Amino acid sequence: MDAALPPPTSADHRLAAARHAFSTPERVPMTPHEEAALAGAAEPPLRHEGLKLARWTLGTGPRVLLVHGWNSRGAHLLDIAQALVEAGFSATLFDLPAHGDSGGQAASVVHAARALRAMAADCGPVHGVVGHSMGSAAALLAFADGLQVARSAHLAGPSSLTPMIKWQADIPSSTPTAVSA
């Protein structure tokens, strides 16, 4: 029996828009200041899940990985990286999948956590992680999946993604069960 699907409703369109908003980041270019500060710090991209992840390392010493947020890029954490270098650490900035100079078209906290674990495995011993916004949530997920570091710092990380998902979906007729699914 071939049953035709019903035509899409406005709720379907809102769900599609929410899915797009939560999986397709905007690419932000580096500023001239960021390009100058990272000149000579680029490392070969990390191949991860069929993508190339752009990365830069500044300084020498125990390594700290910096994980940016949504619609951002590693270079946006340059001030923190420079402070870490002044304190005797090396700081590795990288662009998450579908962000900055890295490959990919779609991303999520799960993609970011897997990228962080792969970056840590490739970099060797990692002393610490600094995560900003979605990067903080990704770091916490990576820790839950086995990434171990001596220290971590979390800046403006979400306390819950549920309110954002409900706001993005904006479906008045949705039940709590439907929204949480």
Name the DSSP letter for residue 27: P
CB contact at 8 A, 111 and 97: yes
d(CA 51, CA 76): 21
User: DSSP letters of 20-79?
Assistant: HHTT-PPP-PPPHHHHHHHTTTEEEEEEETTEEEEEEEESSSSEEEEE--TT--GGGGHH
Q: pLDDT higher for 180 or 8?
A: 8
Structural domain boundaries of the chain?
47-163
pTM (2 d.p.): 0.83
Phi, psi (degrees; rounded to nearest 5) at 49: 50, 40
Look at residue 12 and tell me whether its pLDDT is greater than 70.
yes
- Give the mean model confidence (pLDDT) for residues 29-34: 97
Beta-bridge partner residues of 91: 58, 64
pLDDT of residue 172: 47
pLDDT of residue 8: 60
- State the pLDDT confidence band at 17, using cuts at 50, 70 and 90: confident
**Secondary element (H or E) of residue 79:** helix 78-86
- State the pLDDT confidence band at 167, using cuts at 50, 70 and 90: low
Look at residue 177 and tell me whether its pLDDT is greater than 50.
no
Q: In percent, how much of the chain has pLDDT > 70?
A: 85
Beta-bridge partner residues of 57: 92
The rounded mean pLDDT for the chain is 88
Q: Which CATH number fits domain 47-163: 3.40.50.300, 3.20.20.70, 3.30.70.20, 3.40.50.1820?
A: 3.40.50.1820
